[in-house]
Amino acid sequence: MAQANAGDLTQKYKSAMALQIKGETEPALSIYRELLDQNPKIAEVHFQIGRIMLAKFQLHDAVKFFQNAVLLKPAESAIWDQLTTAAAQLGDAKTSKNILKLLKTSGLPPQHKKTFRTRLENKAGKSKMIVGEQEKQTINTLVSLMNQGQFAKAELIATQALGKYPTTAVFALITATAQFRLGKIEPASAHFKRAITLNPKYAEAYNEFGNMLMETGKIELAIQQFQNALKYAPKMTAALLNLGTALIKDNRAVNAIEFLRRAQSLDPKNHQIASRLGMALGMNTEHEESSKQLQFAIEHGSNSPDVYVYLGTSLSELGKIEAARDAYNHALKLDPDFVLAEFRLGILEQIQGNFDIANTHIKRAMELDPDNAEFCLRYATSNKIDPSDPIFTRLKKIADDTEQPLDNRRSASFAITKILEDAKEYEQAFPYLKLANDLNLEIYPYDVAERVTYISQLQELFADFSVSDASVHGYTDAAPIFVTSMPRSGSTLVEQIIASHSQVTGVGEVGHAVTTARSLILREGGKFQPADKITPDEIHGMGEFIATKLSELAGDNNRVADKSIQTYTMMGLVQAALPKAKIVVVNRDPRDNLLSIYRNKFTDGTHSYAYDLHALGIYYNKFVDMVNFWRAKMPNQFYEIQYEDLIDNPEEETRKLIDFCDLEWEDACLNFHQSKREIKTLSVYQVRQPIYKSSMKAWQRYEAELKPMFDALKEGGNYPS
């Protein structure tokens, strides 16, 4: 690669810094990585990437980049500060030991070395405090009052003690905590800050201040305070638990898990830690361990309805439907008005196809919390609501109220769109559809350039990969069926048809194939390796691992249908690892396909490209590019079915599909809508109906409004002629 001149590098660095300051970390990271490709010895770039990783709680990566920076500038105190902060949060003894070795030869002033060494060697679970005997007696009295809930009396005595001992931080802390419990937020905040000013290493003060911030909805600020507490007391169980809880509330369950595991290692029988860890694992789709942690929490004293709700969700995802139903019902026994239990029970009945029972629970949830638009949206997915219904009026009020939380306005706008479309009021519907997607994009910003780069990178990595050569080493004792496509293209319908066969179990979107394939080309440190470097043993091991995982879900059947939609990105490697596998690609008119994506609210944080029309078109272009790439590399090895053909000629297309899968014909495959298997996708209602044509050419209703999407399709040569 040609070396860029210093001026270009400086300008790029300034651009990345500007993006980072604005909070646009992903585009900033892209520029920083470009800079490192051009010159890997810029300490400032490693440092800034480390800062971003630390803010994201990607602690291993943060340590790695800070170490890179410190090797380039060993006497830079600011880098050491961030490196030791990240390492202390990571809590890994081996990492800290390696950093201590570097610290010895750093050239830092002795006092700085001592500070950073203390931080790395600190194993404290609480702060050290030196107070006089008289102060100690007063502290004991105050602690007793706080434990008894006598907050007003505790505030009075603590305030008097602070007047008498104005430099004793513990009296400021107890005053603050008592005031918080009395609802006096502003004076409490002032006293928390005073305690920290009096003792800047007072971990308990940071932790309690964080508690107040978390309970008053200031999650980001709370996280900072819990981090500060752990900086001075890395083994403070309460701070680890609180940080994990705050990260769960901030939808960062994957980061929460690490801190909650550390808390559990310090206090293994604490049911509160187990319940939070179970929740985080469930949010991260690690349902097997989630259910174990939640059951442990219940066995050791947890008896709150939310624990049973999270347990029910994990059990449902594991296919343990009766146990999940029991968990939700137990939550309602504990609290008959626990709205989340009613709602999740409604969802459970929906995916089982019990729509009347589902409606009873979801309507009850709507009664308990009429301003929660998500409940109304879920109800609207399988029911028609008349625009004259008070529900519609309430939804419009929520959607139009800029003081409402963004996610609630978003759900209201999607629900309004569904109601108006059912009433054929398309002109009124689209402004709300656009509002819903704009709000989603505000919550989850997306840069489609990342997808373009990723697909190009995959094609480069697989350029010299021979599917036929690699298949020789594949695992041949299993013949799963993979259905792959863009979302909302008919893949659930196709999987339901195949899974209606008596020899097939449909397992939904389990994703083992893609994640395993990706792990073989993604190496340590985030670097990719060309696919032709994958060893024969790795190919065979991948196939055996996927087959084993799928067989665990197959029940008595020997064939499994997996409809993980991203399989198309790794088709060649999947086919090589499982030579007897059958891969089905579902195609649909992109105008209807992409409109259907745009009209639906996906699970938070997923399919973020779906909410921008132009990005949607580009994303589809990359889907076509990837399928074309594999078609050239493995001709006639996967089957393509056109959704519109299936709708127009269901029996003919279904027979061809079943024949490709090497299955004997069964009439049940035409009566797929009568199957009682659970459906967890957005198509939960549609695939319970016979084949219908009402969704075809829906794009014509919004032809003018969809122009940005159509323009992108035309640019990629994928606009239907």
Q: What is the pLDDT of residues 472-499, one digit of tens each?
A: 999 999 999 999 999 999 898 999 899 9
Of the pLDDT bands very low, low, confident and very high (cuts 50, 70, 90), residue 695 is low
Domain 6-121 shares a fold with domain 128-233: yes
Q: How far apart are CA 323 and CA 335, in angstroms?
A: 19
Rounded to the nearest 5 degrees, what angle is found at the Cα of 174, between the Cα atoms of 168 and 179? 130
Residue corresponding to tokens 């891969």: 583
Residue corresponding to tokens 């293209």: 489
pLDDT at 4 over 60: no
302-356 pLDDT, tens digit each: 999 999 999 999 999 888 999 999 999 999 999 999 999 999 999 999 888 888 9
Can you tell me the mean pLDDT for 555-571? Answer: 87
Phi (first) and psi of residue 468, to 5 degrees: -65, -40
Q: How far apart are CA 475 and CA 164, in angstroms?
A: 77
Domains of the chain by residue range? 6-121, 128-233, 236-333, 370-443, 468-692
Name, in order, each residue with C-beta under 8 angstroms of 569's C-beta and a sequence gap of 6 or more: 455, 458, 514, 626
pLDDT at 172 over 70: yes
Model-level pTM?
0.76
Beta bridge partners of 505: 560
Can you tell me the mean pLDDT for 666-686? Answer: 60
Can you tell me the mean pLDDT for 265-276? Answer: 96
190-234 pLDDT, tens digit each: 999 999 999 999 999 999 999 999 999 999 999 999 999 998 898
Q: In what order do the strands lie in the sheet with 582-587?
A: 504-508, 559-562, 481-485, 582-587, 639-642
What CATH fold (topology level) applies to the domain 128-233? 1.25.40
Q: How far apart are CA 224 and CA 226, in angstroms?
A: 6
Superfamily of domain 6-121: Tetratricopeptide repeat domain (1.25.40.10)
Give domain 468-692's CATH number out of 3.40.50.300, 3.20.20.80, 1.10.150.120, 2.115.10.20: 3.40.50.300
Neighbours of 368 (CB within 10 A): 16
What CATH fold (topology level) applies to the domain 236-333? 1.25.40
Spell out a b/e string for 57-76, using b for 16 or more CB atoms within 10 Å of the CB, else e. Answer: bbbebbbbbbbbbbebbbeb
Are 720 and 594 in contact by the 8 Å Cβ rule? The answer is no
